[in-house]
Structures are given as structure tokens and as C-alpha cells.
Amino acid sequence: MTALSPLFLESWVKFNCQRWNVRPLRLEYHPHETELPSIRAICYLDKKGRIILPPRNPYLAISFQPTPAQRNYHIFRQWRAMASLLAAEVRQRGFSLFDLYLPPEIVDVRPWQWLGYRAAVRYTQYIDFPFHVKNTDQVFRKQVNKALRFGCTCNQTTQVRSAVACLEQTEARQNFRLSRFFPDELEMAQTIVGEEYYRTYVCNSPDGEVTSSLVCLHAPGARAIALFFGTKADYLNTGVARLLIQYAFQDLEKAGSIGFDFGGVSSPHIARAKEVLGGRLMPYYSLEDYNWRQSLRWTRNTLRAVLFPGRRPWKR
């Protein structure tokens, strides 16, 4: 983990604070007075001082750097020493959500487990740049060619409102509803974070209609993270989404990204759509606390599983 994640961007932190009414908690531990090993994290606190992961943030921003070229038992020890400080901080403040997501770089979540959190696994897909089309599935290449033949073109845009229709349609297909303030939110994010880091890509049909759009967070030298990705229902089979992905990858690579993170491929249809890109599947871990709200959720989920077996089982 040499480069930090774009989630560490100061302007992104500022946007989160303004939009979601939270305050940042910057943590940094250097146990030995030296630069390394170190652990850095940005958490957010709600009004009651509990840790919260604001919407649109796929994970907490955590970065751990061990001392270079060490034997791995050293690294285990350094990680345990540092992460247990962070875990104790989380434990002391508590968190107000059902789950807290840790970034995929964190493989070892035992420091949290040892403080009484339940850890479950979820998955995201990592694409490493340079992106090679030859690593993708045939289906992907066919669809890209189809969209090109159709005459579609892609570009980065500052007109974020033009992207909204696509995102809304996709969210609706997945049974989500975006808030009516959503277009304002996009605009606000772009103003605060800046179009260099908060990038919106759109794919236009030959007659100028926006057919597919992708919003991602980028920082040079780090892995870009997808925030929203949507396609209009009428254009689902035309390959525009695939063409847009390819364009965004090329553009992000030029801008200095080291790769791309889809920010979650845990449901079956998303998994199928993303696996054709030939990325690495990365597990990441979610923490669950034991409390009354959580226990109500377990009971509800168990009742649902027992009474209606086979109904939307992947919705946990």
C-alpha cells in the first residue's frame, strides 16, 4: 500500500462533512516516534460522537505502512500493535450503523474480532492498470465493438446533471430509490472535490442522448473508486456500458490512477456483469457490533429465511 486511497482526499472529507453533517476524525499512530510503521485513518463522527461511514463511501479510509523489507512475523506484530489501537478507538466510540466496512487492503481483521466484533466477508473487483483488452472476456470485446458500430462516443463531462437519469434508472432496477436531492448532491460534490478528482464520464448515443454514466473518485497514484454507475434500460443490450468502462479506464490511466475499484460485486447480477473485465476479486470485511438493533435484524433475517426460503437470499 504505497499510495493512499482517494478517500483520503481533503476535499472529499470536506464534502462528506458538508453533505452528511458529520465531522472528521483523523487518526494517526506512530508507536516508536519514527515515521514507520504507521497507521493512518479518517473516520467520521455523527452528532453523538459515534463512528459513522457516510453514504457513498465504500470503506473507511485506512492506510497501514510497515517498515520496509521485514520478515513477515515483524509485519504481523506491527500490524497487530497498530490495528489494535485503531480497533480500541472504534470500540470506545462505537458505531451507529449496522456495518462498518474496512478497505480491501486490510486482510487481517482479528484486532476487531478480539474486541468482540463479528466480521463478515464481502467482495469487490480490482482492475490493475495498464488495462489490457486482451485480458477481458470475449463478450466484453464484442459489446464494445457493437457500441462503436452503433456510433456511440464517450467523454468526461462537467454537466453532472446529465448523468442523473442513467443512475436513477439503474438504481430503480435494483430496487433502490435515490433521494430527490441526488442531482444537487452530485453538483455539490463536483464543486467541492473538483472535476479533476470527482470525475463524471458519460456515453452519448449518435443523436446526443446520454445513455450510460459513471461517477468515480480519483487521486493520482492511487486506485480510483467507482461511486455510481448506471445505464438507461433501453440501451442495456447495446454495449454502451462496456464502452464507457473502457473509455474511463483509459482516461483514468492517463490521469495517473494505478487501477480501478468497483466498490462491491457482492450481488449475483453485478458479479456477472463485472467478471468479464478480468479483474482480481478482492475480499473486504465488514464489522458488525452486537446490539439491540443488530439483534432485531438477525431475528428478522432468520424469520424471513425460515418462512420464505429462497426469497432474495443475497440481501443480508
Partner 1 sequence: MEALKTFSSPLFLEGWVAYNEKRWSLQSFPLDLHPPNTELPSLRTLLYLDQKGRIVLPPRVPYIPIDFHSTPSDRLPHISRQWLEMSDQLAATMQEHGAYNTLQLSPEATDVRPWYWHGFQSTVRYTFYLDFPIDESRIDPATRRHWRKAIREGYYCQPPKRMEHVLECLKETEERKGYSHHLSLQELQLIQEQVGETHYRILVCYAADGNPVSTTIFLTQQGTRALLLMLGTKTEHLSKGVTQLIQKVGFEDLQAMGATGVDLIGANLPGVSASKEVWGPTLLPYYTLESMNFRQLAKRFRDWGRFRALGKKLNADTDVSSHL
Is residue 105 involved in binding partner 1 (CB under 8 A)? no
Query: HEC profile for 66-111?
Result: CCCCCCHHHHHHHHHHHHHHHHHHHHHHCECCCEEECCCCCCCCHH
Is residue 71 involved in binding partner 1 (CB under 8 A)? yes
Q: Which member of 5, 57, 136, 211 binds partner 1 (CB under 8 A)?
A: 136
Handedness of CA 278, 279, 283, 286 (dihedral sign): negative
Decide if 215 contacts 228 (C-beta within 8 A): yes
Is residue 1 involved in binding partner 1 (CB under 8 A)? no
Q: Taking contact as CB under 8 A, which single stretch among the options 6-14, 155-163, 182-190, 273-281 is the one that binds partner 1?
A: 273-281
Least separation in angstroms between residue 249's CB and partner 1 is 15
Q: Taking contact as CB under 8 A, which single stretch among the options 61-69, 208-216, 248-256, 291-299 is the one that binds partner 1?
A: 291-299
3-state helix, strand, coil in the chain (%, to 5): 40, 25, 35
Is residue 290 involved in binding partner 1 (CB under 8 A)? yes
- Count Cβ atoms below 10 Å from residue 272 Cβ, excluding itself: 10
List C-alpha distances in Å: 215 to 3, 38, 76, 159, 197.
21, 31, 36, 12, 10
**With respect to partner 1, which residue has the nearer C-beta, 127 or 215?**
127
Is residue 107 involved in binding partner 1 (CB under 8 A)? yes
Q: Which member of 36, 88, 133, 172 binds partner 1 (CB under 8 A)?
A: 88
**To which H or E segment does residue 208 belong?**
none
Nearest to 204 by CA among 150, 252, 250, 254: 150
Least separation in angstroms between residue 218's CB and partner 1 is 24
Residues that bind partner 1 (CB under 8 A): 27, 29, 71-73, 76-77, 80, 85, 88-89, 91-92, 107-110, 113-116, 118-121, 123, 135-137, 266, 268, 271, 275-281, 283, 285, 290, 295, 298-299, 301-302, 305-306, 309-310, 313-314, 316
